[in-house]
Chain A
Amino acid sequence: MSDTDVKAANVFERPLTRRELLKRGALGAAVVYGSAITFAPKFARAAATADSITIGSFQDNAMAPFRDTFIKLFAKETGIKVNYNETNYDTWYQNAKNDGLNKTGAYDIYVMDDNWVPEFAAGKIVQSLDSLGFKVNKDILPKGVDQGLWPPRSGAKMKAFASQKPELYAIVIIDDVEILYYNKDHFPKAPQTWDDIYKVAKAKAHPPKLYGWSARGVKGNPIVQTYLPLMSSYGANFVNPDWSPGFAGAKGVAALERLFSFIPYMPAGVAEFDTDQETQVLLQGKCTALTEYTGLVHQIDNPSASKVVGKINAAATPKQERSGPAIGTFICGIASGSKNPKGAVQFLEWFTSSKVQKQFARTGGSAAVTGSALHDPVAVKKYRWLPAIADAVNNSVPKPRTPDEPKMEDILGTALNEALVEAISKKKDYNAIAQKHLTSAANQITSYLKQQGGYF
């Protein structure tokens, strides 16, 4: 062993003095800090160079073809790399909002629920697509495009934005809309009105073996989704153009009474039913019909999920005065702090192009956003529900366009759930029950909007 080796060995063997420990600690910290400031920006920029974009989304089965097929296809066609991050709905909503408010630039595109648009546009969390020069494909169904406008083109508008020209802040990528699912064994052709469905329920339902109707009855958003197509079809509105609630009048009450008329033919626990329970009875062949969003189309012909493969058909939601399904699109906005807005625009224009949308519709019958895709003979031959989606989007009625919509929905949804529970337990006085709870909800919404300000 040489002298040098002995010295080196001693360094590791002898105990460190405090001064040495401090010196080495400081050196170590400097190295770590130095590396961080040298390399971190490079890593951070990796997600946002001109040849890459980053998309953030919430998890949903409907996003599977977008994520698994079309992102790769875009990268292949354009050479632009796409980073895709997804998380659960609530977390993603918060992440996207924080990213946009702080202009962090971690994402270029946010996949959003359409009811986020008022808040994200008014709060400048997303950029105006018009300002970015985004070109809207004329083939996209107009009702879908309208979901991305702020302020809205028509209907009730918040005072502060009423005089502003509508601008496009987000573009629809999946036309999620409520449609009617019915079992062909019980309906030889698509029922046109609620009366048609009621007649079949009355004649054929034999609970618990066969139900005449199934619904989402849980308080809040679920039961509101059950009520909205009924309410709109009876000619009532969630809110009138002056923001006064429009569901507590005779038409709104009649719509709720119609829902109550199905009580003898619905599952007994319907007040606690959410999508999974509601759709199970249909997929098990125990229900004649129900209304639900387009996500269900991916299960109706799946033998591992359905006992009635090939027997469930889709149509626009029934009419009374009109057909009025609720619309809830998947919609994309470009982050306020996007590092590559040009790449983001390029991606969104590419994905919403007629050619790509046709491919999208042919991939599992996804709810494409263009008319030509939803009526594409090749796609329709394989996926019979696509024209029903187009029909439903064209007839759809949007929810109130305001950041306060979730609170309004919660108030109405709580009142509807209370009304349903009371109607199930009393089994009579449906009109009085509907009137009482809808009036209470209308009063609560009015006083909430007054408290918030900017409406009346």
Chain B
Amino acid sequence: MAVAEPAVAEDAGRAWRLRGAATPYLLLAPALLALAAVSLYPIFYGIRASFHRYRYGIDMGSAGTQNYVNVYHDPVFWQAVKTTAKFVVIAVSIETLLGLALALLVARELRFASWIRVSLILPMTIAPVVVGVIWRLLFASDIGIVNPLFSWFGLAQPNVLAHGTSAFLGLVAVDTWEWTPLIFLILLAGLHSMPQDPLEAAQVDGAGRVQAFFHHTLPLLKPVLLVAIVLRTIDAVGTFDQVFVLTKGGPGTSTQLISIYSYNTAFLFTQYGQAMAMLIALLACLLLLMAAAVRFMRRTSEAVA
């Protein structure tokens, strides 16, 4: 029995340790279940739907990979992917440059800095649908103010939404107006939290403003800048409301982003399976892109550290 006693104690200790290890998971379980129900289930349901065929609003059963094959052979889909990529690259680039410039300007102790900050973030607080309506009224060829403005300067009326290129650029302008403030805010926070010592040391060493910016501010700001770009890119890929209100993807297919095309495919053409296949394929591409961006960010952070 003298031998058995330590064994019993050891068992009890193991059980205690196990219970201790399991408790956090048990406590987390309800939250994880809720998360799975609201977050993971819809994704899995979407993936399942992408392998099913829908007809007359009814799930007709498995379609194998046919939806993906159809999407691959659909020229309109590729056109929408191209338009989305063009839109994201142009809009996010402009927003980043403008956001950075504004953040650098406002980060300095200007007299009306707080007022400028508030007025700059105002567009971001308006619902995207309302933004679409506001700009539709501005761009409209009959009652808008853009056409009369051009006439006033002696220029030909552009009829912004009636031509492919101008409608696309109009959309970029709207997105820039609405979302530059987000980049501005993130970068401003980054600038405020930046260590000042290296910058002051550089100034003491005689570095000019431009040199200090490129050699000190920008490298230190890089991780924050990347976060801002990644966030905006994810958001810009899903742009829907403004396009829906302004152009519905037209003229032709010039502003038909993937979000608009997949919406039409699902709810107008009732091809739910095909629409899901489009979105799943896009999600996969986006995840790869984001993984690359995150890896790049990590490397940059390590280099800065």
Inter-chain contact B253/A421, CB cutoff 8 Å: no
Inter-chain contact B58/A219, CB cutoff 8 Å: no
Q: Does A268 interact with chain B (Cβ within 8 Å)? A: yes
Q: Does B142 interact with chain A (Cβ within 8 Å)? A: yes
* Given A272-B161, A414-B253, A417-B251: A122 and B56 interface contact (C-beta under 8 Å): yes
For residue A219, which residue of chain B has the nearest CB? B250
Q: Does B110 interact with chain A (Cβ within 8 Å)? A: no
- Chain A residues near B157 (CB-CB < 8 A): 268
Inter-chain contact B269/A272, CB cutoff 8 Å: no
Of the candidates B70, B162, B247, B264, which one forms a contact with A421 in the assembled complex, judged by CB atoms under 8 Å apart? B162
For residue A281, which residue of chain B has the nearest CB? B142
Inter-chain contact B159/A272, CB cutoff 8 Å: yes
Ordered by A's residue number, 19 sampled pairs between the chains whose C-beta atoms are within 8 Å are: A101-B57, A119-B56, A119-B270, A218-B248, A220-B250, A267-B141, A268-B157, A268-B162, A269-B142, A272-B141, A272-B161, A272-B167, A272-B247, A272-B251, A273-B142, A277-B141, A403-B57, A407-B269, A417-B250
- Chain A residues near B167 (CB-CB < 8 A): 272
Inter-chain contact B142/A271, CB cutoff 8 Å: no
Q: Which of B132-174 contact A (CB under 8 A)?
A: 140-142, 147, 157, 159, 161-164, 167
Q: Does A280 interact with chain B (Cβ within 8 Å)? A: yes
Q: Does B214 interact with chain A (Cβ within 8 Å)? A: no
Inter-chain contact B57/A125, CB cutoff 8 Å: yes
Inter-chain contact B57/A270, CB cutoff 8 Å: no
Q: Does A4 interact with chain B (Cβ within 8 Å)? A: no
Known pairs A123-B57, A269-B162, A277-B141 / 5 extra A-B pairs, C-beta < 8 Å:
A267-B141, A272-B141, A403-B57, A407-B269, A418-B252
- Chain B residues near A218 (CB-CB < 8 A): 248, 250
For residue A406, which residue of chain B has the nearest CB? B268
Inter-chain contact B56/A418, CB cutoff 8 Å: no
Inter-chain contact B252/A421, CB cutoff 8 Å: yes
Q: Does B45 interact with chain A (Cβ within 8 Å)? A: no
Q: Does B249 interact with chain A (Cβ within 8 Å)? A: yes
Cα A425 to Cα B269 with chains together (Å): 31
For residue B156, which residue of chain A has the nearest CB? A268
B281 to chain A, nearest CB (A): 17
Cα A406 to Cα B70 with chains together (Å): 18
Q: Does B55 interact with chain A (Cβ within 8 Å)? A: yes
Cα A92 to Cα B56 with chains together (Å): 16
A120 to chain B, nearest CB (A): 8
- Chain A residues near B159 (CB-CB < 8 A): 268-269, 271-272
Inter-chain contact A407/B268, CB cutoff 8 Å: yes
Inter-chain contact B142/A267, CB cutoff 8 Å: yes
Inter-chain contact B142/A425, CB cutoff 8 Å: no
Cα A219 to Cα B267 with chains together (Å): 17
Secondary structure dominating the interface of B? loop
Inter-chain contact A270/B162, CB cutoff 8 Å: yes
Of the candidates B56, B57, B162, which one forms a contact with A271 in the assembled complex, judged by CB atoms under 8 Å apart? B162
- Chain B residues near A271 (CB-CB < 8 A): 159, 162-163, 250-251
Secondary structure dominating the interface of A? helix
For residue A437, which residue of chain B has the nearest CB? B252
- Chain B residues near A97 (CB-CB < 8 A): 57
User: What are the 3 A-B residue pairs with the smallest beta carbon separation, nearest first?
Assistant: A269-B141, A123-B56, A219-B250
* Given A119-B57, A125-B57, A272-B161: A403 and B141 interface contact (C-beta under 8 Å): no
- Chain A residues near B141 (CB-CB < 8 A): 267-269, 272, 277
- Chain A residues near B269 (CB-CB < 8 A): 404, 406-407, 410
Cα A272 to Cα B253 with chains together (Å): 13
B219 to chain A, nearest CB (A): 46
* Given A269-B159, A272-B141, A277-B140: A219 and B57 interface contact (C-beta under 8 Å): no
Of the candidates B140, B252, B264, which one forms a contact with A417 in the assembled complex, judged by CB atoms under 8 Å apart? B252
A454 to chain B, nearest CB (A): 9
For residue A454, which residue of chain B has the nearest CB? B55
B305 to chain A, nearest CB (A): 48
* Given A123-B56, A403-B55, A417-B252: A410 and B142 interface contact (C-beta under 8 Å): no
Inter-chain contact A421/B164, CB cutoff 8 Å: yes
- Chain A residues near B55 (CB-CB < 8 A): 403
Q: Does A304 interact with chain B (Cβ within 8 Å)? A: no
Q: Which of A65-81 contact B (CB under 8 A)?
A: none
For residue B147, which residue of chain A has the nearest CB? A269
Inter-chain contact A414/B250, CB cutoff 8 Å: yes
* Given A272-B159, A403-B56, A410-B268: A220 and B248 interface contact (C-beta under 8 Å): yes
- Chain A residues near B268 (CB-CB < 8 A): 406-407, 410
- Chain B residues near A451 (CB-CB < 8 A): 70
Q: Does A17 interact with chain B (Cβ within 8 Å)? A: no
Cα A270 to Cα B162 with chains together (Å): 7
Inter-chain contact A425/B57, CB cutoff 8 Å: no
Cα A94 to Cα B58 with chains together (Å): 12
For residue B66, which residue of chain A has the nearest CB? A451
Cα A220 to Cα B162 with chains together (Å): 14
Q: Flag B232-254 by CB within 8 Å of A: 1 or 0 each.
A: 00000000000000011111110
Inter-chain contact B270/A403, CB cutoff 8 Å: yes
Cα A268 to Cα B268 with chains together (Å): 29
Q: Flag A420-435 by CB within 8 Å of B: 1 or 0 each.
A: 0100110000000000
Q: Does A13 interact with chain B (Cβ within 8 Å)? A: no
Inter-chain contact B250/A425, CB cutoff 8 Å: no
Of the candidates B58, B163, B249, which one forms a contact with A123 in the assembled complex, judged by CB atoms under 8 Å apart? B58
Cα A281 to Cα B140 with chains together (Å): 14
Cα A269 to Cα B248 with chains together (Å): 16
- Chain B residues near A101 (CB-CB < 8 A): 57-58
Q: Which of B252-305 contact A (CB under 8 A)?
A: 252-253, 264, 267-271
Inter-chain contact B142/A277, CB cutoff 8 Å: yes
Q: Flag B50-88 by CB within 8 Å of A: 1 or 0 each.
A: 000001111000000000001000000000000000000
Q: Does A5 interact with chain B (Cβ within 8 Å)? A: no
Cα A406 to Cα B57 with chains together (Å): 13
Question: Which of A118, A410, A424 gathers the greatest number of chain B CB atoms within 10 Å?
Answer: A410
For residue B246, which residue of chain A has the nearest CB? A272
Inter-chain contact A414/B252, CB cutoff 8 Å: yes
- Chain A residues near B70 (CB-CB < 8 A): 451
- Chain A residues near B264 (CB-CB < 8 A): 410
